[in-house]
Structure 1
Amino acid sequence: MPVLGCIADDITGATDLAGALVRRGIATTQIFGVPEGPPDTDADAVVIALKTRTATSAEAREQSLRSCRWLRSHGVQGLYLKYCSTFDSTSEGNIGPVTDALLAELASSLTVHCPAYPANARTVYLGHLFVGRSLLSESGMANHPLTPMRDPDLLRVLGSQTPAAVGALPLDVTTHGPGPTAAHLADLGRAGTAHVIADAVRDEDIEHLAAAVAACELPLAAGGAPFGAAWGAALIRATGAGGAAPPVPPDGPSAVLVGSASQATLRQVESFARRWPLLRLPAEDVAAGPGSVDAALEWAAAHLGDGPVMVAADTRPEAVAAAQRTLGRERAASAVEEAMGRLAVGLTERGVRRLVVAGGETSGAVARALGVTRVRIGPEICTGVPWTVSERPGLALAFKSGNFGGDDFFLEAFARLDGAARGEPR
């Protein structure tokens, strides 16, 4: 039975955490949406992928609490709230409201937040979030279409989302190891702090923090994939649980669906297009009716026998700006999501068995359209992005956060899958 239960606010974040757990030898199942029925008894960890990052606070709280109650009913010992390493949220939430609701549900008064992800150049220092050498507010996240992050001070950002006290765990405490870190956390708790923003600039800092949180026996922690995986590993080690063998993804025709507007994904699309077929779909076209999606499916079917194909929403900055002027932000986004879901169904009907999806909102739309409810976590493509194998027979899926991966990510994804099918080590 699972020891660790995780609730993620989007699908790509869930697969990021699930991949990090598998990398530590922890057998992991990912569930899409609020779960029902029994858990996977072979899994040591369960990661629930919700779509609550941009939902209303009421919706986010309700879905998260239902997920928490399901996990607790099946005996999990620790609960982790997973959100993006760039703290994607708005002034209204949903990180603060959801964390407060979970603290109340667990009858706990203290939790620790650590979104740091050193392998992907996300670090926290003096409570400020950095992307590489730049403050969060000076990165590409400042102009994100749904969650623009224009304040790098996480204590201030989280403080605007919760009435509870927010405090800091500075790096000069964490670097001294789990003992001093646990003592500092205890002091913060006695002082009435409910949310602690922890500094971390190296993987070692996260390991110290995870050990300290485990020593404090806090029932809830929150943040990015590295912290969740480290804390989960500490909990699971204490039980002596072992991991099952990862699933073997199937072979077959391959495709990529892209809805992300991140700068990293734009570069990855261009790299893919230099070798394999690419079709761009403007949001205005898909909003006008089903004709453009039908035509895209016929185009893809004609190319699938030659290698992977890509259908991408036109997310170049000038195209996004034009679509939002014509359709409005919400209609433009919903039109693209609906189109990607229809494309996913149509591609699998035409024989696609290996599908990469780029973008958190796009991934949610595709999973819903395909009726995917559970996957086992398979081989990792890059840090934060594993292949998964769906319970739906014979379908390999990779859900990629927009900012993850190098320029050749899409090309490497299928090469990695071919190697896994042959039993090659990473």
Structure 2
Amino acid sequence: MMMPQLAIIADDLTGAADTGACFASAGLATVIPFGGAPVPAVDVVVLSTETRDLAAADAADIVLAATERIVAGDSANPRWVYKKIDSALRGHPRDELLAVMTALDATRALVAPAFPAEGRTTRDGQQRVDGVPLAGSRLGEPGAVSDLVTLFQDERRWPVSHLDLATIRGTPDVIRRHLDDPEPGIVVADAETDDDLLALARAASGSPLRVLCGAAGFARQLSLALPLRHSVRVPIGRQERFGPILVVAGSQHDATARQIAVLRAAGTPIVVPAQEVIDDRDVASDGIVAEIASHLAAGHSTVLTTVGMKTSPYGGGAVAARLAEIAAAPEVRPHIGGLVLTGGDVATAVCAALRATALWLGGEITPGQPLGWLAGGALPGIPVATKAGSFGDDHALLAGIDHVKGILLRRPES
């Protein structure tokens, strides 16, 4: 079997999809296999470890095993491994990067977490959101660290060095000399624009580095710079039916709330379960299921969301599982033409509830909003758009619905 040329390891499904979609947009066969499914012949494979909310040690163990799964026992294993991290540095960036390096026996890595399209930049070694250091920004969580050298420093292992903007905006040979340094270490890089990231990507392409790390912003530039070849045909057939779009939005980010407000103003039905339906699995969801099925059967794209509800004491995973159970109900499924899924937990839970075996990526609707098609399960071939809860302008979900509708309308009649 042909092994992938590039492997991406992400800590949640929306991050896996928005990063992998960069390479799908470049014409490379790119897949996210689910639930330990075998990796097919593919140009780029993306694994979602679902480790963002785990303890650091547990996350590292899972990432180590995932990386070993990709490279074990095959002389043709990927030339590059990209450790996708959150551009707001949530989860366990250092521990998971070190796990990847351990699995590959790699002693150097380049880290560039900027995502300029979403206002996440790096200057003077500080990760920033809309120009504000992360720890004091709208996305700063308790204990957030803005300084990348501090974040990635691990006294037990390799030193961390900083590549500043002046160097990155200098001659390519200067950047390459930093990346060609044979001494063990992690290099963290500034970047404020896509051009900065492209300069890093071009230098990395010509270097001996195998481990690269960052968000979708760096991945997009790597898709332009790395010498990857389109060598595999995407095997999935796409569904031939037309139907309305179901949006499932479990994120509590303000951005998602604003996007849903735009849909409400446009006349899209918005279905919000009663609090007890989410918090108590013994409370029947029949009424919500029937309401969603009725809207979809009438041809109306519909939103199922927890926006505006209280935070559940059972955590985001339990909320996502309940929303997925509703979305995948037998009364709802026959009426769905496509899906738009917001939030990593929700995207994972819905795909699992539909028993999908993989998500084949087809490109991007907008930066950070990828598009793909499910393989296997209850709705094989259905188009799916995903989006991190904090991503996108106020019209992002509306654009997602319109784009997926457009795909369905362009399909030839069966």
TM over 0.5: yes
| Counterpart selection for 1:281 from 273, 279, 296 | 273
Question: Does structure 2 conserve the Cα–Cα contact (< 8 Å) formed by 1:300 and 1:309?
Answer: yes
Alpha-carbon distance in structure 2 between the residues aligned to 1:162 and 1:261 = 37
> Does 1:108 pair with 2:106?
yes
Which of 354, 359, 364 is the matching residue for 2:338?
354
Tell me how far 1:206 sits from its aligned partner. 0.9
CA deviations 1:76-113 (Å, max 9, x no partner) are 11111111111113xxxx22122112212212111011
2:151 pairs with 1:157: yes
> Which runs of 5 or more residues in structure 2 are unaligned?
none
Could you say which residue in structure 2 is the equivalent of 1:135? 133
| 1:336 equivalenced with 2:319 (yes/no) | yes
- Matched with 1:419 is 406
Find the partner of 2:124 among 89, 110, 126.
Answer: 126
The total of aligned residue pairs comes to 398
- Aligned position for 1:78: 80
Question: Residues 140 and 263 of structure 1 are in contact (CA less than 8 Å); yes or no, is this contact kept in structure 2?
Answer: no
Matching residue of 1:169: 163
How well do the aligned residues superpose, as a CA RMSD in angstroms? Answer: 2.5
User: Match of 2:272, SS?
Assistant: strand
Letter in structure 2 aligned against 1:140: R
SS across alignment from 2:105: coil
| Aligned match of 2:47 | 48
Counterpart of 1:7?
Answer: 9
Is residue 2:391 matched to residue 1:397? no
**Letter paired with 1:46:** V
- Offset at residue 300 of structure 1 (A): 0.6
1:369–1:231 Cα change, 3 Å: same
CA contact (8 A) 1:259 1:315 kept: no
Given that 1:32 and 1:372 are in contact with CA atoms closer than 8 Å, whether structure 2 keeps it comes out as yes
Deviation for aligned residue 1:334 = 3.5
CA 1:155 to 1:284, structure 2 compared with 1: closer, same or farther past 3 Å?
A: farther
Structure 1 unpaired stretches of 5+: none
Of 354, 361, 364, the residue aligned with 1:370 is: 354
Tell me which residue corresponds to 1:241.
230
1:421 to 1:248, Cα distance in 2 relative to 1, 3 A: farther
Q: Deviations over 1:353-389 (max 9, x none)?
A: 3111111122222222222221211252221212211
For the Cα contact (< 8 Å) 1:264–1:403, is it kept in 2? Answer: yes
Closer/same/farther in 2, CA of residues 283 and 156 from structure 1, 3 Å limit: farther
In the other structure, the counterpart of 1:224 is: 215
What aligned pairs does 1:173-188 form with structure 2 within 5 A after superposition? 173-187=167-181
Deviations 1:55-84 (A, max 9, x none): 223332233223222322362111111111
Mapped contact 1:293–1:342 kept (Cα < 8 A): no
Q: Say if 1:228 and 1:314 are closer, same or farther in 2 by CA, change over 3 A.
A: closer
Task: Give the letter aligned to residue 335 of structure 1.
Answer: A
CA distance change for structure 1 residues 247 and 228 in 2, over 3 Å: closer, same or farther? farther
Q: Which has the higher helix share?
A: 1
Task: Verify the 8 A CA contact 2:129 2:139 in the aligned structure 1.
Answer: no
Q: Does 1:17 align with 2:4?
A: no
Residue 257 in 1 paired to residue 257 in 2?
Answer: no
Corresponding residue of 2:192: 201
Q: Secondary structure at the match of 2:59?
A: helix
Question: Any residues of structure 2 matched to 1:92-107 within 5 Å, and which?
Answer: 94-107=92-105
Offset, 1:116: 0.6
Secondary structure at the counterpart of residue 380 of structure 1? strand
Question: Which of 286, 291, 296 matches 1:294?
Answer: 286
Superposed CA deviations along residues 33-55 of structure 1, whole A, max 9, x for unmatched, are 4x443x332x3211112201112
Q: CA deviation at 1:157?
A: 2.4
Shift of the 85–243 alpha-carbon distance from structure 1 to 2, 3 Å rule, reads farther
Letter in 2 for 1:276: T
Q: TM-score, normalised by structure 1?
A: 0.86
SS in 2 for 1:236: coil
CA distance in 1, matches of 2:304, 2:53: 25
Could you say what secondary structure the match of 1:230 adopts? helix
- 2:44 corresponds to 1:57: no
SS at match of 1:222: strand
Separation in 2, partners of 1:247, 1:122: 36
| Equivalent pair of 1:5/1:80 in contact (CA under 8 Å) | yes
Matching residue of 2:395: 408
> In the aligned structure 2, how far is the partner of 1:290 from the partner of 1:278?
24
Report the secondary structure of 1:306's partner residue: coil
**Letter of the structure 2 residue corresponding to residue 230 of structure 1:** Q
Instruction: Specify the alignment match of 2:67 in structure 1.
Output: 68
Over 3 Å counting, the alpha-carbon distance change for 1:332 and 1:79 in structure 2 is closer
